[in-house]
Structure 1
């Protein structure tokens, strides 16, 4: 049995999640862009909003608070810029010395706007 230790880079999909996603991966009508005005896009939008509602219910939050993104880099950017993008100068951000490059670059960009950036050694 192989032991995989690089879950920071990628993680195997849980079988239950893979089964749920399988339908979307093989049905051409479910691959439509949910932002499209055509019928297939709108059908996908309805389904996506149902998934958003279910996630929100699981985490006891409003559906509008659930954001789906394409991966880690987009998620890192969204988290940092969403919290600190309009922060007044002088706010303080502490990151670790081993953060992903996406966190480093976004943190450094925020520091250019007046955010105080500190790096914690590991």
Structure 2
């Protein structure tokens, strides 16, 4: 459960921006609420309202900028929290098995920002023989 993160506002800003590009339907909306409340805990309703109010008067460009800023601040989180945040984002984006191009871009951006371990590839000499 993600309940002790340093930047809960940024997490909810990013999640709400993702929800704006996800095709709306009742099943998605219910799943979205259930998924987030199970991972966030008691802060869900309060943070959700703050994020909705913040995004209400922003245009699309400002929302994209806010998403980038939110991910930058989420980079400050602990390694385990980053993994949990990325897992939550994956669950939201890949819920319906239909990933739109915009969702894919947001996922790549989140993965790049929150990835905690990178595995450099060093080819061995065997590959070149």
The two structures have a TM-score, normalised by structure 1, of 0.30
Larger Rg: 1
